[in-house]
Structure 1
Amino acid sequence: MKSYIVGVGMTKFEKPESRDWQYWDMVREAGGAALSDAGIAYGDVQQVPVGYCFQASTAGQRAAYELGLTGVPVYNVNNNCATGSTALMMARQFVEGGISDCVLALGFEKMQRGALGGGADGGDFKTSPVARHYGIMAARHGFEMSPPTAQIFGDAAREHMEKHGTTPAQLAAVGAKNHRHSVNNPYAQFQDAYTVDEILAAKTIHTPLTKLQCSPTSDGAAAAVVVSERFVEERGLGEKAVEIVAQSMTTDTEESFASGSCVDVVGQPMSREAARQVYEASGLGIEDVDVVELHDCFSINELLTYEALGMCAAGESGKLVESGATTYGGRWVVNPSGGLISKGHPLGATGIAQIAELTWQLRGEAGGRQVAGARVGLAHNIGLGGAAVVTMVRRGR
């Protein structure tokens, strides 16, 4: 069975503590917008997977209850930074498995200011779910005082530079592109443009990554209504429908740890395999894609993901972004929303917010950041620990 997105919504992503609201307020806003976009009531919803990382168990119910008290099943989902896309994948599976005709995927996060810890709980590294990942990093690069997530990705950048000649300016070009894109996104946490030189001159978080190449902590929520083909036909939603053509989740394999490389341990092999599965299932390749929302938690991860998605050969990603191939006028537009670096990164909401952006793009509703003629989109969301989710979407039925 096929599945379709017929409604999306999100809040503006904001710096933690910048607004006096709770996570359930965010979900009321984002979920209400998605239901309104689909033209349905909460009573039509048959299942509700809710993604978040930092709140207590059953916070999903507390949030969803703001939309209605119908007794609908609510599932609490936590998969580190891939949480939002995991909730979306559950929604798709409910629909494509014939269990439900209408599912609402929700994702939210209310975070603390400051750098993200080593895992969703920011706890003791000895007992952390990502202790094995950081052990690989420490064995090769040592362990410094910089924020651990910035360190592991920064060390991946150092390895890429050493092996392939990637330059600091190429890494900074990712940040410059995504900050420039966010200027036209009213939902973005930051809407300021910077030059490559300004990004290089910003505060260093972990060499070679500067502050303007790192995603911030954020508050926010996003939502998507996923329905069956029958629901689309019965409700006359064909003009709104965006098909989920294929989707795959992968987790770490032996390749992630065998090389002792941070490039592998931060998820490039997972992303590559998830993309391969999606291309095989959909019959579409990266050459068919017009617009991409990918997980640029740090600038290096955008470059690693270009390679994992097959947009360029290994080691060529720095040259690809420098060439302009991944912005307006190029072969693809990558992160027209501003990406995690500039739009923001409330962990539980990120994966669904990517889908909201792609839905608007494929419907031609993205305003000043619209990618002309976009028909096929691809989302990539990854979390250490680990999970990588790749989703192919297409306008039309």
Structure 2
Amino acid sequence: MVFILGGWQSDFSTVWSRQGMDLADAFAEAVNQGMAATAIDAAEVETGHVGNFTAELFAGQGLLGGFFGLVDPAFNGLPTARHEAACASGSVAVLAATAEIEAGRYDLACVVGIEQMRNVPGQTAAEHLGAAAWVGHEYGEARYVWPAAFSDLAEEYDRRYGLKYEHLMRIAEINFGNAKRNPNAQTRGYAFSPESFTADDDANPVVEGRTRKMDCGQVTDGSAVVFLASEKRAADYAAKRGISLDSLPRIAGWGHRSAPIGYARKVADSAGQPYVFPQVRRAIEDARARAGVTDIAQIDAVETHDCFTATEYMAIDHLGLTAPGESWKAIEDGSIDVGGRLPINPSGGLIGCGHPVGATGVRMLLDAAKQVSGSAGDYQVDGANRVQTLNIGGSTTTTVSFIVERAAA
């Protein structure tokens, strides 16, 4: 069993270059703020992991594990590693840290998710992010690779089941609305007109194909950090603070699946099957099986990947909230709203909170931990004892899901 002792998230509206910060500065800020928030000393940390996708392209920097040694002299000698799985990089870093803890190698791990993305023009950023597609084999004609890819996903849903744009826009409206209650959300101060959530070409212009501006998650600079511990180390942590071990969030289950990198191959492989992305469904089910979750009603909230509204539309039915192709039912009946049957993205998700790629999986885990410990503030879901995350890299090339709960769940 791996416990989450706490962590920290940066303000996703901050542009680091405007603050005179580089990637190393932001890394140090995350770790130092995380240690302050959890009252953990650097000398107590036994291993460090970093989730990051494209630091080489955006910042010309690799070997990010070496940044730990710049934060505190006690980290000199710390075993570290950097992990890459596109938008699932942070979750893969978490998986690596949990594996070390479960193997008995270490008892306390620091996991940092980090990405700097607003230091280059938008078109350059889009080209850098295209590295997660099958370069030279798909979307070479697209100006914006990922809006084009998830336009294709919307088209596939429409072809198989039918799809109304109003349902995609309701997803966007919910996530932007949730973000207004999140003090770290990139879009918390954004304002929209009613026309913004329609197919109005002025208020909501086309980006690629069926993807419009309001369908898109927000690229940004951002970091998140979590401290993970073995049961023995967590018990010691709790005892020193006069709290119950059962009050600490824990990772009860995980799922990790990969699919071929090309989008067209994935869709061809799922022809005639109920789910568009079978490996996403398998990762979700694997996490629940390991956590002993047998019914979706046992999940109180979800932090899911919504790099585009079509991604969340897909996630709704893959999570089992509806039958395949019927995600619209959960949107129309309010199931995914805060206060609904299964609130999705109370943080605002990638659309509302922001999507610094390598940080997203770590941020999701941290938000799940906040929810089950009742410390999510204004975006707290009442009675949240068990939360599932769903983090996707590329066109679902890598999928990672965690179940986070309290012992009383």
TM-score, L = length of structure 1: 0.89
Is 2:157 the counterpart of 1:160? Answer: yes
Give deviations 1:359-386, integer Å, cap 9, x for gaps. Answer: 1111111111110011000111110172
SS at match of 2:91: helix
Indicate the larger mover: 355-364 or 158-167.
158-167
Matched with 2:58 is: none
Matched with 1:179 is: 176
Q: 2:331 aligns with which of 298, 321, 325?
A: 321
- Does the CA-based 8 Å contact 1:25-1:63 persist in structure 2? no
Pairwise CA distance, 1:356: 1.3
Unaligned stretches of 5+ residues in structure 2: 56-60
Is 2:58 the counterpart of 1:58? Answer: no
Q: Within 2, Cα distance between the matches of 1:172 and 1:29?
A: 36
Indicate the larger mover: 201-210 or 302-311.
201-210
Pairwise CA distance, 1:320: 1.4
Q: Within 1, Cα distance between the matches of 2:270 and 2:29?
A: 38
Alignment of 1:233-248 (within 5 A): 233-235=235-237, 236=239, 238=245, 241-248=248-255
Q: Within 1, Cα distance between the matches of 2:287 and 2:21?
A: 38
Pairwise CA distance, 1:64: 5.4
Matched with 2:112 is: 106
Is 2:20 the counterpart of 1:13? Answer: no
Q: 1:279 aligns with which of 251, 276, 288?
A: 288
Which residue identity is paired with 1:251? S
Q: 1:64 to 1:300 in 2, by over 3 A?
A: farther
Indicate the larger mover: 184-193 or 29-38.
29-38
Matched with 2:41 is: 41
Which residue identity is paired with 2:97? A
Q: 1:193 to 1:313 in 2, by over 3 A?
A: farther
SS at match of 1:5: strand
Pairwise CA distance, 1:146: 3.8
Give deviations 1:21-58, integer Å, cap 9, x for gaps. Answer: 11222222222232223221111111101111222321
Is 2:231 the counterpart of 1:229? Answer: yes
- Does the CA-based 8 Å contact 1:242-1:395 persist in structure 2? yes
SS at match of 1:72: coil
Alignment of 1:350-361 (within 5 A): 350-361=360-371
Which residue identity is paired with 2:92? T
Pairwise CA distance, 1:61: 1.3
Which residue identity is paired with 1:278? A
SS at match of 1:65: helix
Indicate the larger mover: 288-297 or 314-323.
314-323
Q: 1:254 to 1:25 in 2, by over 3 A?
A: closer
Which residue identity is paired with 1:395? R
Unaligned stretches of 5+ residues in structure 1: none
- Does the CA-based 8 Å contact 1:252-1:267 persist in structure 2? no
Q: Within 1, Cα distance between the matches of 2:186 and 2:121?
A: 14
Q: Within 1, Cα distance between the matches of 2:27 and 2:135?
A: 32
Matched with 1:22 is: 22
Q: Within 1, Cα distance between the matches of 2:68 and 2:231?
A: 28
Matched with 2:405 is: 394
Is 2:166 the counterpart of 1:189? Answer: no
Matched with 1:130 is: 134
Give deviations 1:343-372, integer Å, cap 9, x for gaps. Answer: 111111000001111111111111111100
- Does the CA-based 8 Å contact 1:110-1:218 persist in structure 2? yes
Pairwise CA distance, 1:197: 3.7
Q: Within 1, Cα distance between the matches of 2:277 and 2:79?
A: 35
Which residue identity is paired with 2:154? A
Is 2:148 the counterpart of 1:151? Answer: yes
Pairwise CA distance, 1:205: 1.1
- Does the CA-based 8 Å contact 2:303-2:389 persist in structure 1? yes
Q: 1:94 aligns with which of 91, 100, 118?
A: 100
SS at match of 1:215: coil
SS at match of 2:71: coil
Matched with 1:218 is: 220
Which residue identity is paired with 1:89? L
Q: Within 1, Cα distance between the matches of 2:342 and 2:211?
A: 24
Q: Within 2, Cα distance between the matches of 1:356 and 1:280?
A: 22
Cα RMSD, aligned residues only: 2.6
Give deviations 1:264-307, integer Å, cap 9, x for gaps. Answer: 9x982221110111122111142211111000000000010111
Q: 1:262 to 1:27 in 2, by over 3 A?
A: farther
Q: 1:149 to 1:101 in 2, by over 3 A?
A: same
SS at match of 1:212: helix
Indicate the larger mover: 311-320 or 143-152.
143-152
Q: Within 2, Cα distance between the matches of 1:64 and 1:311?
A: 44
